[in-house]
Amino acid sequence: MSKTVEIKRSGATAKDDPNCFNRLHWALEPVARANPGDYVVYETRDAFDSQFDFDTTPEQVAACDLNRVHPMTGPVHIEGAERGDALAVTIVDIAPSDYGYTAIVPGFGYLRDVISGPFIANWKLDRLCAVSEQIPGVRIPMCAFPGSIGVLPGEPEVAAALEREGALAAAGGFVLMPDPGRAVPERLFGEGAPYAAEGLRTVAPRENGGNMDIKAMQVGTTILFPVLVDGAGLWTGDIHFAQGDGEVCGTAVEMAARVTLKCEVIKGGGKDIVFPHVTGGSQLRNTEPGRFHAIVGMPVKKAGEVPPHLAYLDSPKVAALTNLSEDLSLAARDALLRMIDWIATNKGYTREQAYAICAAAVDLRIGQLVDVPNVIVSAVLPLDIFVE
């Protein structure tokens, strides 16, 4: 018979909460245990660990502590789950808090070289929509999902992530490597601990799931994870009230929440799952806009420009080109920049406001991948978010 297992939130920050962590490691100990079929209720913290509230200013955003980002609730030991199994996790309910935010943090976000911030929209939330004094005339419907959800990585997965991400960092890629500063729990990452340098940052998604930011993972969807440690270690956090596919400014409509999950163990089912699978029904249709305005983007840029995602390559060669071949990231950037200009011109918002609107509501979609050199990405803006 199913029961309900609750993981409560306590303390002002994740550091004071025994049910939270913000670094991933195979040795994290469970904070609760549940049987397959039980309802597991997670009280989660917002992505920036309560550093923002209704009175937060852009100056405070610029001074925030990024080492505290992504406090996660859990992990929960699922009885009977063993490495090699799969864990099928169904999202049953997401109850929002009354406060959310979309922030542009200097040095972060897809257009960090163009719109650096700081900026913050503080949103009032209920189960219907989000409204903000900083972006008047916009109403974002609730489309809640876990920005981050996953299981614990195993010892081999932690080692593999450290090796490949370390190599990318050495090549100049934008990677957040392990950092024990403000790590939670401190006891795993204190001085002299054997894995003080191994705690993976939770910003990057990996084989175990994590920060996938897929808006279709709403109530009713089921996510299949490979079980990588005995007990699986199921966790979640970084809950989004709403988001455009792309989360382009680096934040969605972020919030604390109460999330109810239900899971089943599929014995031996993990052998065919490398990265998580997501199954559902009407969730994709529920994200479709009624009225929309879309702008097409191609892999083109200004002469001399080196976008951040290309900065670690041969910069002089990149700078000399105005058209790149089969570069989806550049096509998405082109579509997004044109959409920001369109919103600013046609709706009267600043470019910072328009960027935040894109993060909260605009979907980036692949059009085609074969018409070389110009692959296509379109930015799709739902027009019904604007209050007439």
Amino acid (1-letter code) at residue 137: G
Last residue of a domain, one of 265, 285, 305: 285
CATH number, residue 355: 3.10.28.20
Using CA atoms, how far apart are residues 297 and 122, in angstroms rounded to an integer? 30
Domain that includes residue 308, residue range: 292-385
267 and 303 share a domain?
no
Low-confidence stretches of the chain (pLDDT beneath 70): 188-197
352 contacts 115 by C-beta, under 8 angstroms: yes
Q: Which residues does residue 222 pair with via DSSP β-bridges, in sequence order?
A: 90, 279
280 and 344 share a domain?
no
Q: Write out pLDDT tens, residues 324-339.
A: 999 999 999 999 999 9
133 and 159 share a domain?
yes
249, 255, 258, 262: CA torsion to nearest 10: 0
Q: In the chain, which ranges are continuous DSSP H helix?
A: 58-62, 155-170, 186-189, 283-286, 315-320, 328-347, 351-361
Using CA atoms, how far apart are residues 69 and 106, in angstroms rounded to an integer? 14
Check residue 386 and report its DSSP letter: B
43 and 108 share a domain?
yes
CATH number, residue 113: 2.60.120.580
344 and 255 share a domain?
no
204 and 342 share a domain?
no
At residue 278, the 3 state secondary structure works out as strand
CA 265, 266, 269, 275 torsion: positive or negative?
A: negative
pLDDT of 227 reads 98
pLDDT of 146 reads 98
169 and 314 share a domain?
no
pLDDT of 194 reads 54
192 and 67 share a domain?
yes
Per-residue 3-state assignment (H helix, E strand, C coil) for 183-250 = CCCHHHHCCCCCCCCCCEECCCCECCEECCCCCCCCCCCEEEEECCCCCEEEEEEEEEEECCCCCCCC
Strands 376-382 and 363-368: antiparallel
- Which one, of 332, 322, 323, 326, lies nearest residue 362 by Cα? 332
Q: Write out pLDDT tens, residues 336-355.
A: 999 999 999 999 999 999 99
pLDDT of 195 reads 56
170 and 86 share a domain?
yes
- Which one, of 80, 91, 361, lies nearest residue 224 by Cα? 91
243 and 311 share a domain?
no
281 and 301 share a domain?
no
Last residue of a domain, one of 256, 285, 314: 285
Last residue of a domain, one of 262, 285, 308: 285
Domains identified in the chain, total number: 2
Q: Is the pTM of this model over 0.85?
A: yes
188 and 321 share a domain?
no
